[in-house]
Amino acid sequence: MAVLLQGSLLITGAVSGIGRATALCMVRHGVTKLALGDIKSTQLPETKDKLLSKGSDLEVLVLELDVRSDASTEKAFAEAVAAFGRIDYLINNAGVPGSFTPTDQLSYSDWQRPFDVNLHAAIQQMLKQDMRETSLSRGSIVNVASILGLTGSSNPASGYSASKHAVIGLTRTDARHCAKQGIRINAVCPGYIDTPIVLNLDETVRKNLISQIPAGRPGKPEEVGNAIVFLASDLSSFMYGKGLVVDGGQICH
């Protein structure tokens, strides 16, 4: 298998679901240095052990990272750069679903929470690091958005949907700004994927969501991880500011 990726990775929300699956996919395709960030840092060693079982040459750094906090984000990035010298790939995956409450009944704190987690700009911290300052500027950033960042939700999830629309807008704007520095920024837009967030949904909601998918099933986290590998690698070298949909055909209309 040809090596698609070389260098170091920092991924947020790495404890489980898409984050863990993406880390495993990135290792499968060549990444050997990984910084795993999550607010649930005590659970990260399990992800680390799964990664180390894939190869003895891997370097895996576990980071306590609360993306809502500038100080926590800066500390995590500083530790990753100190360990690996630079960051070549950043996957902004940390996210929360928000409240399934109609907008006119939503408290401000419930509205704000998905923005604080889903949108808080880890990208800005990334661009302060060596990947921007060196004469060999290069790198790839992939933001995990959602198909609800491209369309409206059939369920009352306005805070989540609005935050993911904002992630896509940020991706497009920063992609234009950073292209000349050799940094590509894209987003992946998953549909209904079997992750802890969606597995905890009400069973009626789950069945309704599956009925909307032409593929007839939810996606697997590794299917999103493979799409992220594509966006991070040179296979997508002429893609900037795009939102790659991985949804089993859910919004192909």
Active site residue 160: yes
Report whether pLDDT(41) > 90.
Answer: no
pTM of model > 0.85: yes
Residue from 89, 108, 160, 192 carrying the catalytic annotation = 160
* Residue in the block written with tokens 């499968």: 28
Domains, the chain, with CATH or none? 8-244 (3.40.50.720)
Which tens digit of pLDDT belongs to each residue from 126-143? 555 545 555 445 789 999
Cβ-in-10-Å burial (0-12, 13-18, 19+) of 71 comes to: exposed
List pLDDT tens digits, range 91-108: 999 888 777 777 777 887
Q: How far apart are CA 194 and CA 162, in angstroms?
A: 22
